[in-house]
Structure 1
Amino acid sequence: MTRLRTAILISGRGSNMDALIAAARDPSFPADIALVLSNRPDAPGLAKAKAAGVATAAVDHKIYAGREEFERSLQIVLETYRINFICLAGFMRMFTPWFVGQWRGRMLNVHPALLPAYRGLDTHERALADGAKIHGATVHFVMPEMDEGPIVAQAAVPVLDDDTPETLAARVLAQEHVIYPMALQLVASGAVRVEGKRVLGAPAPDDASLIVPDATLARRRIS
């Protein structure tokens, strides 16, 4: 089996990075985490990735005059490591259409809300302010527009009466750690396909909180 050479892009501690690296330790997992790349040379996640035996690199966005100049340097690093797929995991930079075009259909992001609701920042605060009863997380393909793109997987969590943004964020993050490796597995294995704005695959799972093609099979393979 040829495993998909995947880079994880981070800006901070890399919580979802940890989950992806852990899943990819299984030789049967269809993606190999070949690089962790950050726009911040001091990102704590770089040290964690190095300790896990994953190659690391940093391209400091602050030294570039514009976004595309920065992205072209990113592209050179990705090509040097022969990367053919990207997972964004807390990467706090918006990409230009040029970069997204280089990776169209080959780049995933995880967002702490049930898209298309609550695009952008402060999702947990906004959900609580709106009185939402259900919140969650989404893994989607990346498009030039913020938090757009065909949805691969979602997980829902209830909003409790005594929730704060911090407690709600913690439960959502736990679900991100479940659905992100699952989504990468489904995409890397070719189990799903994109038609227009939809990601199509096997029938929905029995677990209604995990909205993902063939999630039961994916969970069994990861565990």
Structure 2
Amino acid sequence: MDAPPPPPPQPPPESFPTAVSAAAHVADDPLTSPYASMNSYCHDLSTLQDLACRGAWRTIVDKVARSRSLSLLSKPHEHLIYLTFNLLSLVKLRRYSDAQQELRTLDDDLDSKQYLCESYPDHYPNHKSGSMVPFALRWLHAHLPFTLGDRQLALDRLYTLLHFIRDKKLSRNRDSTSEVSLSLWKKREQFVVNTIISHHLPEGVQGMFVFVEGGDKQK
């Protein structure tokens, strides 16, 4: 009777931790799977979405505070998402000074390297380069000065945001951008344009719509 074949060679023991760690990083990267659930992308995100849809702003503020105190947010993008919900809730509650304090915890330059996925390879090993800053956070960053009486700073930031949308999202890499994404960014562009107009109209600048819509297209 023939002897059974020898078992396949095993890797040396020291290689197991490396392999397990690598697999854990890949499986734990929430930005690599487009089919992941909302909660796998960010801790309890579905609850935040539901509370926001119901206008439960005080509950969101309490939930964000609790999640932070219990250290439930482990990744940089989760902190930004929770900060965005908290900031929006404070604005909705007209707690503008508190919202300003929350915003001051961020770098004023939202395009800073600290907000790029590639700055955190341990957290996002397989994710392509790009910003983690939600659009809502960019808009709130631009809008908040207006609520505090600094209309000019708000306008400056809104125009910067409009330039960001047109230059980085609508003008570049159109061939590699999906129609769904382009449509979304066009809607965001119009939203920012309308916000700019709303800030100008009280001053009687009726022609600003023409300038914003077509001024940057003129040669």
> Higher helix share goes to which structure?
2
Q: TM-score, normalised by structure 1?
A: 0.27
Q: TM-score, normalised by structure 2?
A: 0.27
Larger Rg: 2
More contact order relative to length (CA 8 Å, sep ≥ 6): 1
> Higher strand share goes to which structure?
1
